[in-house]
Amino acid sequence: MKKSPVNLAIFASGRGSNFSAIVKAIKQNEIKVKLVILVCDQPEALVIKRARIARIPVILVKREDFPSRADFEAAIIQRLKSYKINLIALAGFMRILSASFVKRYHNCIMNIHPSLLPDFKGAQAIEDAFKHQAPFTGVTVHFVDAEVDSGPIILQQKVNINKRDSLASLEKRIHALEHKLYPEALKLFINAKLKIKAGKVYLS
């Protein structure tokens, strides 16, 4: 039986370094997926320039153009349906998706977070770990559920925080690991290696 193609959409709001890491992995044939569109909510985001260089169509959907979050998400869903998207990778998308949106794409939305979840949830995870003088932090790739920075964990890897680390040097090492781990997680999904049972991910 022929396997259905995986059509990927990346959601991003900022610089887009993880977007570029995924594009690079696809170009080097490390992951066999069709990156169909970038969905972005910020017209000045650098990721838009990266997408245009990579010749990936950009769907710009600004929250302020819609009277409610439901309308905003409905516009996104309409575009996802038209492009037959069946996998979403959040890569610095600074909008919390509603429970109904997540349910529609159940176990088909991934996110990357710069900590070892459940530790240091939120937008300032690297800074929080550094300020708390934690001995280590890390990177987590997980499926998205209705809670923030939650959902079944796909991959995690630890990063030690050294005494000589500055916040900038720690951020640099965290981001380098993100660029490695996210393509690995996508590859597992695309190759149907991920099984979810009782809220946990198992490799098959």
In tens, the pLDDT along 68-121 reads 999 999 999 999 999 999 999 999 999 999 999 999 999 999 999 999 999 999
Q: What pLDDT is recorded for position 3?
A: 64
For residues 141-169, give the mean pLDDT.
96
Neighbouring residues of 174: CB distance < 8 A, sequence distance ≥ 6:
114, 126, 137, 138, 139, 159
Into how many domains does the chain fold?
A: 1
Examine residue 1 and state whether it is found in any structural domain, yes or no. Answer: no
For residues 38-47, give the mean pLDDT.
98
Decide: 119 and 105 in contact? Cβ < 8 Å. Answer: no
Q: Rounded distance, CA 138 to CA 177, Å?
A: 8
Q: Rounded distance, CA 183 to CA 173, Å?
A: 17
* pLDDT tens-digit readout, 6-20: 999 999 999 999 999
Decide: 41 and 62 in contact? Cβ < 8 Å. Answer: yes
Reported confidence tier of residue 198, pLDDT bands at 50, 70, 90:
confident
This prediction has a pTM of 0.95
Examine residue 73 and state whether it is found in any structural domain, yes or no. Answer: yes
Sign of the CA dihedral running 74, 78, 84, 88:
negative
CATH number at residue 126: 3.40.50.170
Distances in Å between the Cα of 135 and the Cα atoms of 26, 41, 140 are: 34, 35, 17
Examine residue 105 and state whether it is found in any structural domain, yes or no. Answer: yes
Domain range holding 146? 7-203
Examine residue 2 and state whether it is found in any structural domain, yes or no. Answer: no
Q: What pLDDT is recorded for position 204?
A: 85
Reported confidence tier of residue 30, pLDDT bands at 50, 70, 90:
very high
Examine residue 171 and state whether it is found in any structural domain, yes or no. Answer: yes
Q: Rounded distance, CA 73 to CA 67, Å?
A: 11
* pLDDT tens-digit readout, 136-145: 999 999 999 9
DSSP-derived pairing of the beta strands 200-203 and 136-143: unpaired
Catalytic residue among 106, 113, 142, 179: 113
User: In whole numbers, what is the pLDDT of the chain averaged over residues?
Assistant: 95
Q: Rounded distance, CA 198 to CA 171, Å?
A: 33
- Higher per-residue pLDDT: 122 or 3: 122
179 catalytic? Reply is: no
Q: Give me the residue label for tokens 């998706």.
A: 97
For residues 166-179, give the mean pLDDT.
97
Neighbouring residues of 64: CB distance < 8 A, sequence distance ≥ 6:
none
